[in-house]
Amino acid sequence: MSDNSIKICSGFRFAGVHCGLKAEEVLDLALLLSDKPAQAAAVFTENRFPAAPVVCGRRQMDAGAGVQAVLINSGNANACTGHQGEIDVAAVAEVLAAALELPRERIFISSTGVIGEPLPVTTIMQGVELLTQSLDDDLPVTEALERAARAIMTTDKSHKIVGVEIETSQGPVTITGLAKGAGMIHPRMATMLAYLLSDAGIDRQILQEMLRRVVDKTFNRISVDGDMSTNDTVLALANGISGVNLTAAADLEAFEEGLLKVAQELSFMIVKDGEGATKTVAITVVGARRAGEAEKICRAVANSALVKTAFFGQDANWGRIIAAVGYAGVEIDPEMVNISFDQVRVVSGGLRDPDYHEADGAAVLRQDEFTVKIDLQSGEDEFTVLTSDLTHDYISINADYRS
């Protein structure tokens, strides 16, 4: 159902269609179209087998050309397809450019789905015609945006859209974000695609630096299953149609805070929608000597299969957590470590807290959302990673993903 309260930035149009990339009758091809060229910034997967659209996207960002249209297909990753995959990206981009009467360099392509299969170029080309036709449909923008968000889903149970309005000294601007992701979620980044769109005017290099900082605080701090995808892309577009050009330090800071909020909410949605997930858990390490050490411990706990299955079973097995803390590769003083489930102190000084009752810990783990706080009491730095539980359904989903 559409959420009419979501802030949608001006100067963008959206479309989502079924073109036949998936056997079932579901939306599988999306278009994001700006009314004018937008400044573009992007962050991509660090996987050493980048998909063809990632390779082409990096090249496009290096060239510094503005982006006006984004075509996203689900059902096929166009990954591990060799040079032919890049040829196919170019072919699809050419067709869309011609259909929209735009220069080829302003077309950005993303893909998500099964790895190792050739991109069905003819099917997508037919879908491009459907997309351009649907732009003329008299759909409310909220519904068109929702169709685009649904078209990029793979194993997602729900679409993910967030929008915020930001007040600046020059007037209001809006940031609207949409994303997909449910499995293969692990920094850096996840099997996720995210698009952060704004009607603000902003320098491209400043936008790139902002995006990198925001991604490091959000999409790079989530984990569902510890697997890194070949296709991860976060793309930010700012088309300036609001007439507000951000140059003052205070305005740029406000914009980055808005970008961060949108990315945080999308990140939370991705973890909450994790394949088979029933729990959303914040792993927070405080009192570390260095932020890097806090991060190592966070990731060790967040990615532990034993910890995640205990969360699913609502088993307050703090021994699994403390074991992960101990093997994270960080020098710690075991006698200083405290662990809490929300406000329930479980471990004090590396030992079971004398006032801890198992029933209290289990009550916290019965909640859909909770926090595990690990206090090293050794410094001032901290780090948080958002994770999910590991369930029977996760295995079922991934055991027959291609069937």
**Whether residue 402 has pLDDT greater than 60:** no
pLDDT digits (tens, 9 = 90+) for 126-160: 999 999 999 988 899 999 999 999 999 987 888 99
Residue 1 lies in a domain: no
266 & 328 share domain: no
Same domain for 109 and 90?
yes
pLDDT of residue 224: 60
* DSSP per-residue letters across 285-322: EEEESSHHHHHHHHHHHHT-HHHHHHHHHT---HHHHH
β-bridge partners, 107: 69
Residues 175 and 295 in one domain: no
Specify the pTM.
Answer: 0.88
List 200's β-bridge partners, or say none.
none
Cα distances from 150 to residues 16, 19, 42, 254, in angstroms, run: 7, 13, 22, 30
Domain shared by 135 and 171, yes or no: yes
> Does 153 share its domain with 242?
yes
CATH number (domain holding residue 60): 3.60.70.12
The last residue of a domain, from among 223, 251, 272: 272
Residues with catalytic roles: 191
Residues 292 and 259 in one domain: no
Q: Which of 238, 272, 306 is the last residue of a domain?
A: 272
At 281-325, the pLDDT tens digits run: 999 999 999 999 999 999 999 989 899 999 999 999 999 999 999
Task: Tell me: do 298 and 173 sit in the same domain.
Answer: no
Q: Does residue 395 fall inside a structural domain?
A: yes
pLDDT band at 277 (very low <50, low <70, confident <90, very high): confident
Single out the residue of 378, 371, 370, 383 nearest to residue 285, CA to CA.
Answer: 383
Q: 22 pLDDT exceeds 90?
A: no
- Report which of 277, 263, 18 is spatially closest to residue 153, judged by C-alpha positions: 18
Query: Of 250, 272, 294, which closes a domain?
Result: 272
Expressed as residue numbers, the domain containing 289 is: 280-399
Residues 255 and 307 in one domain: no
Residue 344's CATH number: 3.10.20.340
The strand pairing partners of 387, in sequence order, are: 223, 281
Q: 262 and 343 in one domain?
A: no
Please check whether residue 6 lies inside any domain of the structure.
Answer: no
> What is the pLDDT confidence band of residue 354, given thresholds at 50, 70 and 90?
very high
CA distance 131 to 127: 6
Query: How many domains does one find in the chain?
Result: 2
Judgement on whether residues 306 and 172 belong to the same structural domain of the protein: no
pLDDT given for residue 145 in this prediction: 97
Residues 182 and 119 occupy one common structural domain: yes
Q: How confident is residue 362, by pLDDT bands cut at 50, 70 and 90? A: very high
Q: Are residues 122 and 173 in the same domain?
A: yes
